[in-house]
Amino acid sequence: MLQNLVSLVPVSPPPDGQRVKRNAQPAADGEKRTRYTLPLALESGSPVGYRTRVSLTVAEAEEAALLYSLPRPEAFVEGPGVTEQELFEEVSLGVLSARQSTNFRGHRQVTFGPEESAEIAALMGELTGLEAPVLPGAQMTHVVLTRPYRTAFTLLLTFTGHKMGLNFLTVPWRALSKRFFHADDIPSIGYLQHLHLGVLADALERAAAVASAGQRAAQVFMAPFAGADCRKANKAVMAKLHKRCGLTAEQLGQGWRVGIVAQVGQLETALPISRAVARKVGANLMAFRSERIQPGVNAEESAPEAYQHRQDMDIPESLAFMAARAAYNSFVHWTGCDREQAKRLMLLERIDVLTEGGKGRLRQIRADNNAITDLLIANLPLWADLPLGRALSRNANRGRKAFALVGQRIYVGGLDKAHVEACELDATLAVQAIGAASSRSAQICEISGCVDLPDDCDLLVGTCLMAGPVNQNDIGKHFYGFKDLLSQAHPDKDPTSMIVWTLKAKTIADPLGNEEQLLSRKRKGALVDLRPAPHEIVDVCIDGKLSPFRRTQGRTSQERAFGDQLNFVRGPDGAHIPGNPGSAWPRALANQPVWGETA
Amino acid sequence: MTTRMEFEEAPGTGAMMLKAAVARKPGLTDGEDLQRFEAVISGVEVTQLSEYQSICGFGESAVVPLTMPQVIAAPLHMAVFTHSDFPLPAMGMVHVSSRITQERAIMAHERLDILVWAEGQRQARKGVEIDLMTEVSVNGEKVWESVTTCLSMAAKGHGEKTAQDPVPEPDPTRSAVWKMASDLGRRYGKIAGDRNPIHLWPITAKLFGFKRHIIHGMWLLARAVAEMDDDLGEGRVVVEVAFKRPVFLPASATFSSGPHNDGVAFRLDNPVKGKTHLFGRISRG
C-alpha cells in the first residue's frame, strides 16, 4: 500500500537562557544517591546502555525520514553473507529494544540462515492470509515468538472487579482461567500482546535497513498469525514453525507461539541512506530506548535547578501533522486498507493541553481514572489484601502516578472493532497495526527532536507511549460502567481505546535514576525493564542447531550497539559511568559471516 | 653458579605445592645474591586450550591466547621456586607485575620449547623483587617471552617509599563489569594447574593471612587480554601489567580500556570503592 512521504520537522530550541541539560554527576562521598545522580556502574548485557541523542543536520534528517515510510521489498538478490556484527545490530534495533518501559519479556526470536530460510519460505507459502508475497532468496529469517502479557500488574488485576460475597469463588476461578486458558482480566490487557507485536513489526523493517545502511530490507508477516481464524487455518504450519524454533510443550502451555516472521534479504537497489546517517539513526534509536522521557515538568522541590523552570517551547503544528501522517502510513502498511479507510477505522483523539478545552479534557480524564482507582481499591477482597499487608491496594494506588497523563499534546488511539470487522479486516491485525502506528508516530517526534540539537540541550522533544491510562479506563469500563476514553471524541462509534502517546517540546531529559530503573538489578521495582542481553532472548540456527546468540564458551556480550557513535551519558567532567560504554564482542567472531560467505 | 633442571615432561604441581607449603627456607642474608636457577622442557604440547579459552573469555580458536604460555610454563616456575636450594619460600611470594612479549601468534598444533630462569634480585620497600624469566621457542624461533616480577618478604627491604607508576586514565572505548563467582579460583586453578590454597576457599586463604580467597592474577590478565582481542592485532605485541590489589571472591569489577600514549591502556577497578586492582598497557612493536 502506498505510504505518503514523511519528513522530520525541526523543533526550535528556546532562547539560550532557557536551555538546560540533565548534567547528572556522581554522588559525592557519603552523599545519598538519588534519581538525579549518576549510577555507580552499569552491569548489563543489553545493547542499549545509558545513551544520549545524536544531533542530525537537516540534510541528514531528510535522508533518515525515508525510514518512516519504507515500502515492502519486491525481491531479494544475492549478496554478501550477513556478518555476526550486522546481525547483532539488527536484533539490537528489533527484538532487544523495540518496546519501552515494561517489565515483561514477551518476545523471543529465532533467526535462521539462508538454507533454512528457503525451507521456511516454502512453509510460509502454505499459509492463509499472507499480507505480502513470500520472497525467495532471503539471507536470513527471524521468527518472533510471543506470549500473553502477564506481569505484577496483571496479577493485581486478578483481584479486581469481583462482587462482595462471591469473590472467594470468583478470584480463584479467574486465576485458573488465566493460568490455563490465557484469559485476560480486561480486554485491553489482551490487546497489549498485539500492540507490542505491532511495535516490533514496524521496528523490524527499520532495523534491517539501518543495520545494513540500506542494503537489506525485511519482508515482515504478522497477518497469518494474528486473528483466531487465521491461526486456526494455519495451525499445521505454525506447529512446524514452533518445532523449528524448539518450543517445548511447557512453553506452548505458557502461551508461546509464533507472532511475526521476517524475511531479510539483499536489495537490488540499495535504499538512499548513507552509512553515516544510518549509524547516527541507530545510535539515536538506542538513546530513545535508554530514556523514559516523561513529557511533563519534573519540578520536584528536591530536583536540581535545571528541572525547575518552564520552557517556552511547543510542538510545531507541522510536526503534529507528520506524526499523524506517520501513524496513518503505518496503519495502511500493516492492514492493507486504503488511506481514507484507515482514517475512518483508526479512531484518534488529540488533546492539545495548551488550549483551554484541552486542559479541561485532561482534567476530566484524570478525574475519571482516579475515580476508577478509588473504586478498584474499595472493592479489593480484604481476605487477600489484609494478609499481604495491603500490598494490593498500595500497588493500585501507585498506578495513579505511573499512569499519569502529562504532555503538551496527547493522542489516544483505538478502534471500533465492529466497524473493523464490517470492513472485513482481522480485528487482531488491526490492533497490531494500532501498535505499529502509535510507535511510528511517536518515533517521528523523537527523531525530529534530534534535528539540529544544540550542544547545550539533551533533546528537543520528549515522547511517551503507554497503555496504562487505557488499562485504567478499561477497568472502569469493564467493571464499573465508565465510558471509553474515545467515546466523547467519537460519539457515533463504539470505540475501544488501546494506547496513548504524549508529546512535549523540552530540552532536558528525565533524571538518570529513571533510566537506571530500566537497567540496574539493584533498582528492581515495579516498572523495571531489565533489558535483555542477546543470548537471553535470541537463538540462532546454525547447521540445524539452535544456540543462544552471542554466548560462546564462558562469555556473553556486553557490547552496546552503535557504540561507535560514542553517545554515552557522561558526567559533567566527561567521565564515563563505569561499564556503560560496554565492550565490543571479539572482532574475529563479529566480522565473520554467520552462515558462510554468500546467501 | 647455575642450578639447571631439565624435564622430559611437565613436573606435577601437586607435590611441589605441598613441598612449598611445608618447606623451611633461610631467605637471603645481607649481601647474598640469588644464584641462577633454570628449568627447561622441550616439545610441550598445548593441551586444555578450549578450557582455558572458555574460562578466560577468549573466543574458540586454534590460536593460543597470549597469556596461555605463562600457564603452560607454570610447572617450571614452581620447579624453580620449590628447588631445595632456592633460598626464598614459594608461599607468600606476591606477583606484582608482568611484561609479556609475543613475537607472533602461537598455534595450537605447535610444540613449545620452554626455558625458565631466575637470577639476582632487587631490593624493594618490603622485601626483594625477583624477575622470573620465561622464553618460549618453536623450532628454535623465540616466539614469546615474559618477565614475571615477584615480591618476597623473606629478605630485608629498603623500607623507603618509592614513586609509583601513575594509574592510566584512558577515555575508555571499552568498559564492562565482570562478575567473578566464588568458585572461579577453583575452576581456573584446575585448568591452570595452580591450586594455591589462597585461590580455593575462604578457609584455606585465611590460613595464609587473606580475609577470603582471591582470584589468580593471571586469570585477571587473561580476561583483560580476551576483552581487548582486537587491540592486539597481528605480529609483535607487548603487554605490561601491574597488580595493585587482590580481588576477593566472589566479586564484581569494572574493566576499562582505551587509547593511551601510542598503545592501549587498561585497568580494573572496584566499582564501589573505586580502588584499582590492576592496570597496564598493550603496545605493538
CA-CA distances (angstroms) from residue B108 to A46, B54, B190?
33, 15, 20
Residue A460 contacts residue A20 (beta carbons within 8 Å): no
Reported as a single tens digit per residue, the pLDDT across B68-89 is 999 999 999 999 999 989 999 8
Q: What is the pLDDT of residue A598?
A: 40
- Residue among B50, B171, B254 minimizing CB distance to A41: B254
CA distance B280 to chain A (A): 17
pLDDT, chain A, mean: 91
Residue B198: pLDDT above 80? Answer: yes
Over residues B118-128, mean pLDDT:
88
Q: Range with the lowest mean pLDDT among A414-418, A446-450, B195-199?
A: B195-199
A583/B271 CB distance under 8 A: no
E strands, A353-471, in order: 409-415, 461-466
Mean pLDDT of A25-46: 87
Instruction: Provide the residue type at B280 as one letter.
Output: G
Q: Are B282 and B231 in contact (CB under 8 A)?
A: yes
| Residue A139 near residue A76 (C-beta atoms within 8 A) | yes
Asked if B53 and A578 come within 8 Å (Cβ–Cβ), the reply is no
Q: What is the pLDDT of residue B200?
A: 94
How far apart are the C-alpha atoms of B70 and A214, rounded to whole Å? 47
Which residues of chain B have a CB within 8 Å of the CB of A581?
172-175, 256
B residues 77-106 lying closer than 8 A (beta carbon) to A: none
Whole-number pLDDT of residue A524: 57
pLDDT greater than 80 at residue B230: no
Task: Say whether A43 and B255 touch across the interface (CB within 8 A).
Answer: no
> Considering only residues 174 to 193 of chain B, which have any Cβ-Cβ distance to chain A shorter than 8 Å?
174-177, 179
pLDDT band at A298 (very low <50, low <70, confident <90, very high): low
- Selecting from A553, A554, A576 the residue whose C-beta is nearest the C-beta of B175 gives A576
Tell me A533's DSSP state. Answer: P
Q: In Å, how far is A271's CA from the nearest CA of chain B? A: 31
Confidence of residue B115 (pLDDT cuts 50, 70, 90): very high
Q: What is the mean pLDDT of residues A270-286?
A: 97
**B204 Cβ under 8 Å from any chain A Cβ:** no
Q: Return the half-sphere exposure (C-beta side, CA atoms, 13 A cut-off) of residue B193.
A: 21
Nearest CA in chain A to B226: A586
Name the strand (E) or helix (H) holding A498. strand A496-505
Whether A553 and B54 lie within 8 Å, measured CB to CB: yes
Nearest to A554 among B54, B230, B254 (CB): B54
Query: How many Å apart are CA B281 and CA A503, to the nearest integer?
Result: 48
pLDDT above 80 (res A237): yes
Predicted-assembly ipTM surpassing the 0.85 threshold: no
User: For the residues A388-393, what does the mean pLDDT come to?
Assistant: 90
Is B261 in the A-facing interface, judged by CB distances under 8 Å? no
Q: Once rounded to an integer, what is the mean pLDDT over residues A408-415?
A: 93
Question: Which among B254, B255, B256, B266 is the top mutation candidate for probing chain A, defined by the most A β-carbons within 10 Å of its own β-carbon?
Answer: B254
Q: Which of B175, B229, B257 is the best mutation test for A, with the most CBs of A within 10 A?
A: B175
CA nearest neighbour of A136 among A120, A118, A111: A118
Report CB contact under 8 Å: B271, A579. Answer: yes
Min Cα distance A159 → chain B (Å) is 40
Q: Which residues of B touch A574 (CB under 8 A)?
A: 171
Judged against a pLDDT cut of 90, whether residue A305 lies above it is answered with: no
Instruction: Say what the pLDDT of residue A523 is.
Output: 65
Percentage, residues of chain A above pLDDT 90: 71
| Pairing assessment for the beta strands A409-415 and B94-102 based on DSSP bridges | unpaired
Lowest model confidence (mean pLDDT) among A22-36, A570-584, B108-122, B241-255:
A22-36
pLDDT at residue A448, as a whole number: 96
User: Residue A101: which pLDDT band, with cuts at 50, 70 and 90?
Assistant: low
Q: Mean of the pLDDT values across residues B196-214?
A: 91
Per-residue model confidence (pLDDT) at position A33:
82
Write out chain B residues lying below 8 Å of A564, CB-based.
Answer: none
Inform me whether the C-beta atom of residue B254 falls under 8 Å from chain A C-beta atoms.
yes
Q: Which residue has the higher pLDDT, B274 or A252?
A: A252
Q: Which residue in B has a C-alpha nearest to residue A29's C-alpha?
A: B273
B60 and chain A: CB distance < 8 Å anywhere?
Answer: yes
Q: Is the pLDDT of residue A212 over 70?
A: yes
Q: Which of A583, A586, A588 sits opposite B176 (nearest CB)?
A: A583
One-letter amino acid identity for A226? A
d(CA B80, CA A501): 71
pLDDT at A100: 58
B163-195 tens-digit pLDDT: 777 888 888 889 998 989 999 999 999 999 888
Point out the residue among A42, A555, A581 whose CB comes nearest to the CB of B172: A581
* Chain B residues with CB-CB distance to A578 below 8 A: 175, 177, 254, 256, 269, 271
Beta carbons of B96 and B129 less than 8 angstroms apart: yes
Residue B199, all three cell numbers: 585461590
Amino acid found at A210: V
Which one-letter DSSP state was computed for residue A126?
T
Q: CB-based contact (8 Å) between B272 and chain A?
A: yes
Residue A599 has a pLDDT of: 36
Query: How many interchain CB pairs under 8 A, A with B?
Result: 73
Mean pLDDT of A537-555: 91
Using an 8 Å CB-CB cutoff, list residues of chain A that contact chain B: 40-43, 552-555, 558, 574, 576, 578-584, 586-589
What is the DSSP pairing of strand B94-102 with strand B237-243? Answer: antiparallel
Contact B224, B258 (CB under 8 A): no
Nearest residue on chain B to A563, alpha-carbon basis: B173
For the whole model, what pTM was predicted? 0.89
Any A CB within 8 A of B172 CB: yes
Compare CB distances from B59 to A41, A42, A552 and report the shortest one's residue: A552
Q: Which of A19-33, A125-139, A212-226 has the weakest average pLDDT?
A: A19-33
Q: What is the pLDDT, as a whole number, of residue A597?
A: 55
* Residue of chain A with shortest Cα separation from B257: A583
Residue numbers in B near A41 (CB within 8 A): 177, 252, 254, 271
Task: Evaluate if residue A526 carries a pLDDT over 60.
Answer: no
Contact call for A587 and B173, based on CB within 8 A: no
The verdict on a CB contact (< 8 Å) between B175 and A583 is: yes
Tens of pLDDT, residue by residue over A313-351, are: 888 999 999 999 999 999 999 999 999 999 999 999 999
- Split at pLDDT 50, 70, 90, the class of A447 is very high
Residue listed under C-alpha cell 539452535: A546
Closest residue in A to B55 (Cα) is A554
Verify whether the Cβ–Cβ distance A43 to B252 is below 8 Å.
yes
Q: Which chain A residue shows the shortest CA-CA distance from B269?
A: A578
Angle between helices A84-93 and A275-290 (to 10 degrees): 50
